[in-house]
A and B are shown apart, each in its own frame.
Chain A
Amino acid sequence: MVKRAQLIRMKNIYKSFGAVSALIDVDFKLNYNEIVGLVGDNGAGKTTLIKILSGVYLPNKGKIFFDGKEITLKSPMGAKNLGIETIHQNLALVEELNIERNIFMGREPISPVLGGFIGLLDRKRMEKEAQGILKNLKIPINSTKERVKNLSGGQRQSVAVGRSLHFRAKIIIMDEPTAALSVQETNKILSLTKSLREEGLSIIFISHNLYHVFAVADRITVLRHNRVVGERRTEETNMDEITGLIVGKKVKESLPKV
C-alpha cells in the first residue's frame, strides 16, 4: 500500500501582529479524506491558523506543505486556486447582493463580446449554475435572485457551502459553522460535513461546541495560548480530556454523556 503524503502539513508556524503573538511554533496536519476538529478557547489562535491557510495572512515563520510540496499562500485567490475553500465565521457574503452574485464574487463568468475585446458578465450561466448549486444541496430557496439579506442563517450557510463545493474544493475550512444555526439546520450541516468526507474532501472544522466536533471529526487538534497542546484521534479520547486540554487543567466534573 502506497503511503500518501499528507494533504496539508504546517510546520513551525509563527504569527504575530506587532507585539501580540497569535501562533507560536504550531504544527498542524490534515490528511486526505479526513475531518479534523480544531478547538480551543477564544484567542487561542484557531482563526489565525485557518486564515493563514486561506491566504489571508502570511506566517512570520514556518513552512506549509500541500501534498508534500512546499507552497506559499500569497492571497485568498491563491488558496482557492489550490482548492482550499473557506467558510469564514462571518460567511463572507455581501448582504445587498443576490445569491448568484455572491457565489461568483471574484470569479465572475465572462462571455466575450465583440470578438473577445470586451468581456460581459455571463448572467445566464451564473443563474443556471447557482440554481444547480441550490438544487444539489437541496436548499429550499425559490430564486437565486433573492438577496442574501433576506435569507436565514442556515440558508446563508448553505449558500456559502455551496459556493465552496462549486469551485472544486479539495479542502473546506469551516469556522464555527453551527454557531448561529437552529437544531435542524445544525443537523443538516453536520451530516453534510460527513458526506463531504465520503466524497473525498478533507475538512477542518472549528467549533466551540465539542458535541458537534465529536459528532464529525476523525481527529482533534487543541490550541491553547497560541500553541498546540494536544492532538488526539476522536475515538481514543473523550470530551473531558479535550476540555481539560482547552482550559489547561483536569476537568473534575464530567459533562453529561450524550
Chain B
Amino acid sequence: MEGENHFLPPPLKIFVASRKNILATWGDVIATKESGRLPISAFVGKVLAVKESGVAIALILIILFFSLTCKPFLTTFNLLNLMRQISITGIVAIGVTLLMVSGEFDLSVGSIFAVSGVTVALLARNLGINLWFAALAGLSIAAFLGLINGLIVTVTKIPSFLATLGTMMAYRGLALILSKGWPVANLPPSSFYLITGGKILDIIPTPGIWVLIFCFIFCIVLDHTGYGNQAYATGGNEEAARLSGINTNKVKLINFVLTGIAAGTAALISLGLLESAVPVQGQGMELEAIAAAVIGGTSLAGGSGTILGTLLGAIIMGMVRNGLVLLGASAYYQNALLGMVLVVAVIINVQFERRR
C-alpha cells in the first residue's frame, strides 16, 4: 500500500493517506476472511470508525434504488448532469460545513449569493467592466458580507443563528436595491461563461469540477491543517479551546469570511451557467446547504462534521431530486421525500455516533 503513494503530488498523497484507513480496513477484512475467521462485530466496528460511513451507506442504497427502478439513472450523461446540478448548493454547503464545525451558523448565504451575482452582472453590463474583474469584485463583496456576519457575532456575542437571520433579510434587500428588482441579463460575451459554467471535452461540466476542487481544498484545510484542528476545538468546546490558547474569535471570523466566499463562488458558477443573475436567486439555499451538511454527518452543536460527508450529502439530495424526476414523479414528491431522507439520515448518523 505504501509504495503506491509515491508518484502522487504531495497534497494528493496526504489526502489519500488520510483515507488509507479505509483501504486498511478492507485489507483487514480480506485477511481475516482468508484465515477463515470473520468476526462480524470487528468488521462493523471498523466500518463505523470511518466518519462518512453513515452517509456513504445511504448513498449506496439510494444509487441501488434508482438504478433498479429507472434505467436512465446510472448513465454517464445523467450522472454528469447531476454533478452540475449539485455544484452550486454543494459549494455553499462545503463553506457552511466549516462554519458549523466551529459552532456557528450562517443563514444569510442565499442572500450573499444573490448580492454577489447581481453585483458581478451589474458591473459587467452597466459599467462595462471585464467579467473576470467583476467576478473578483463579486467575491470581495461576498467575503465582506461574511466578515460583517462574523463581526456581529464575535463582537456582540449574539447567537449566529439570529444575527444571520437578520443579515439574510438585510442582504436580500441589498440585492433588490442594487438591481432595482429586475433580473440582470444581456451580459457581454466572455470566456468566463465557459470556464465557470461550460463543458470540458464537450461532456464534463466545469461546475462539477469546481465543486470537486472546492471540496478538495476545504478537506485539506479542515483535516490537515492546525487551523482545522482549532476549528474543531472551537466548535467542540469553546472554553477548552480558549484555555488552550486558541483565538476562537479569529477562527470564527475567518470561517464566516470563507462561508461568504463560498456563496460568492457559487454565484459565479450560477452566473456562468445562466449568463444572468436575479436578485431573488438563492432563496432557501441556506436550508439546503445546512441539510446537505447534516445528512453528511455534521453536528448542529458544532465540533464534528467532514467536508467529504457534506459533499456526499449534497449528492444524495441531488440524486433524490434527479431520480424522482426520471421516475416521472410529481414535483411535490421531491420535497416530501427529501424531508424524509433528511430525518432518516440524521437518525442513522446519531446511531453511528453512539456506537463509535
Contacts and interface: CB of A to CB of B under 8 A. Distances in A.
Interface of A: 54, 56, 75-77, 80, 86, 88, 90-97, 101, 104-110, 113-114, 118-121, 123, 147
A97 B233 contact: yes
Contacts of B243: 54, 56, 76, 86, 88, 92
Contacts of A107: 244-245
A121 B239 contact: no
A88 B237 CA distance: 14
B188 interface: no
Contacts of B11: 113-114
Given A77-B245, A94-B237, A109-B226, 4 more contacts: A92-B237, A94-B240, A101-B232, A106-B233
B interface, by DSSP: helix, strand, loop or mixed? helix
A110 B11 CA distance: 14
Interface in B219-261: 220, 223-226, 228-230, 232-233, 236-237, 239-246
18 contacts: A54-B243, A56-B242, A76-B242, A76-B243, A76-B245, A77-B245, A92-B243, A92-B244, A94-B237, A94-B303, A96-B237, A96-B299, A96-B304, A101-B232, A106-B246, A119-B226, A123-B18, A147-B356
Contacts of B10: 113-114
Contact of A120 (B14, B232, B303): B14
Q: 6 closest A-B pairs (Cβ-Cβ)? A: A108-B226, A77-B245, A106-B245, A94-B236, A106-B244, A92-B240
A94 B237 CA distance: 5
Interface residues of B, number: 28
A148 B244 CA distance: 16
B233 A76 contact: no
Contacts of A88: 243
A225 B1 CA distance: 64
Contact of B303 (A54, A56, A96, A121): A96
Nearest to B13: A113
Contacts of A105: 229-230, 233, 240-241, 244, 246
B97 to A, nearest CB: 15
B229 A101 contact: yes
Interface string B72-88: 00000000000000000
